[in-house]
Chain A
């Protein structure tokens, strides 16, 4: 058994690191309720006026809805394309399967910055105007490989038998896919969707480089930073954090349920 002293040391270390990890988040949230104009000590709140200021800021609210839209559309596209590709590579003996797998997951090994740069020169060379659509395209590039890899890893042998049984009973390929494979993969598909939404929601550099007038929330927050420290930035930052947090918890619940089952 570990001694009392080493248990104490372990608890102290864990506490210290949790403190380090949560310090900035707690400061961010605390000073979003600041009364005065500067989000530094002493704390003189609590006040909700900076949240009101956020709600009254048309550009921020617009960016918020842009972010939600881009996240939902790009995640849906990523999950659908990822599922179809995973189904294809797991069930059809295509030549060069390993190479194709490598190609589909390749974007995972490249920095977002480089992906963003590539898209920027490509769109500018082809004269494609920067917009929410170009951001969405970029977010599918980063999330598709993830969705493909996760769903592909879940397409086990037990599913193949169920699919075969359905086929023997006269189901068409489309019916097999939608009525057998999708329900069996549901937790993985769900998790992929939330993961993609979270990544898209938080993504900055691609959204920054391939957007112009219509921007997503991280890009709008970035432009707010030019005016220095401001409790309003704390307020919107806390909202962003809260939404990411809810998303992760939802994902966890889904995965946890599957583990239990």
Chain B
């Protein structure tokens, strides 16, 4: 078998996956980028390059505001999720007997594996007027009328936190369970108490797990349309919602494309900001 012959075979095996990625991922992104520079005027698509959509984005508080809302919600969700998930991951790694850890972890992330649509709908059942929480408050006498906790930012945050607590428990647990016990022993030998050991030894060593989870949370959260649409309602819009409205109400593909481009830029910035902590292979 000759050298070029073998190279040719290598390319042939790679070709289907490569072509698929080029045709249905790279090319669509390029077309989307081009679309974002076109303009929809009335019923017509004006195919000439301009930055009119981007100008519109920065001029109208409707658009910029939705980005600000998205970033606020995403940061809130990321912080709450890390704070809630860390102790759970720690308990799983430190307090649950080894042989039960995997089962406990799988149980903790089971609802993670169901679709956004079903999960958000389930939270609607819990939060809506007459739902479980409203009913509970009526029963204990904290309220005399059914109350609704849905259709606002709080509901969106709850729906998101539910999902990302599971994701972060997974990434932080993976990190914690790989720590050799020697570090802790060394810290104890040197006279550090459990609190100091945690702050100076365990926490820094689990930073990669936290950062990978937080980054995934940021990316998945800021790009999700379902949770804010089902739980948050239309009173306050997040960026994916304004984007979908451009498509469904106005068929304004160029404007929607420019919003998608802006979303991509925001995610890239988040990546650059957290890149030095992101060593994906460690998780």
Q: Which residues of A contact B (CB under 8 A)?
A: 2, 7, 10-11, 13-14, 17-18, 20-25, 27-28, 31, 38-42, 80-82, 84-85, 87-89, 91-94, 100, 103-104, 106-107, 109-115, 117-122, 124-125, 137-138, 140-141, 144-145, 148, 173, 198, 201-205, 209, 218, 221-222, 225, 229, 233-234, 237, 240-241, 244-245, 247-248, 252, 256
Contacts and interface: CB of A to CB of B under 8 A. Distances in A.
Given A24-B162, A114-B29, 6 more contacts: A18-B107, A31-B125, A89-B10, A94-B11, A106-B21, A229-B124
A94 B122 contact: no
B118 interface: yes
Nearest to B268: A109
Nearest to B92: A14
A28 B122 contact: yes
A233 B125 CA distance: 11
B25 A107 contact: yes
Contacts of B131: 27, 40-41
Contacts of A106: 21, 25-26
B230 interface: yes
Contacts of B226: 204-205, 222
Given A103-B18, A144-B21, A205-B225, A244 B113 contact: yes
**In which size bucket is the chain B interface?**
35 or more
Interface string B209-228: 00000000001101111100
B223 A111 contact: yes
Contact of A100 (B18, B126, B256): B18
A113 B243 contact: yes
Contacts of A87: 13
Nearest to B17: A85
A222 B263 contact: no
Interface stretch (B48-56, B60-68, B83-91, B175-183): B83-91
Given A10-B91, A141-B25, A121 B118 contact: no
A93 B8 CA distance: 11
Interface in B255-274: 256-257, 260, 263-264, 267, 271
A47 to B, nearest CB: 17
Nearest to B215: A109
A234 B125 contact: yes
B147 to A, nearest CB: 13
26 contacts: A20-B162, A24-B111, A40-B128, A41-B135, A82-B17, A93-B10, A94-B10, A94-B14, A104-B17, A107-B21, A110-B267, A113-B263, A114-B260, A114-B264, A121-B31, A122-B24, A145-B21, A202-B113, A204-B226, A205-B226, A218-B117, A225-B117, A229-B124, A237-B118, A241-B114, A248-B113
Interface in B234-276: 240, 243, 247, 253, 256-257, 260, 263-264, 267, 271
Contacts, number: 237
A117 B256 contact: yes
Nearest to B12: A88
B257 A22 contact: no
B14 A117 contact: no
A24 B7 CA distance: 54
A31 B125 CA distance: 9
A235 B113 CA distance: 17
Nearest to B103: A252
A22 B112 CA distance: 10
A213 to B, nearest CB: 17
Given A111-B219, A119-B28, A141-B24, A17 B11 contact: no
A141 to B, nearest CB: 5
B57 interface: no
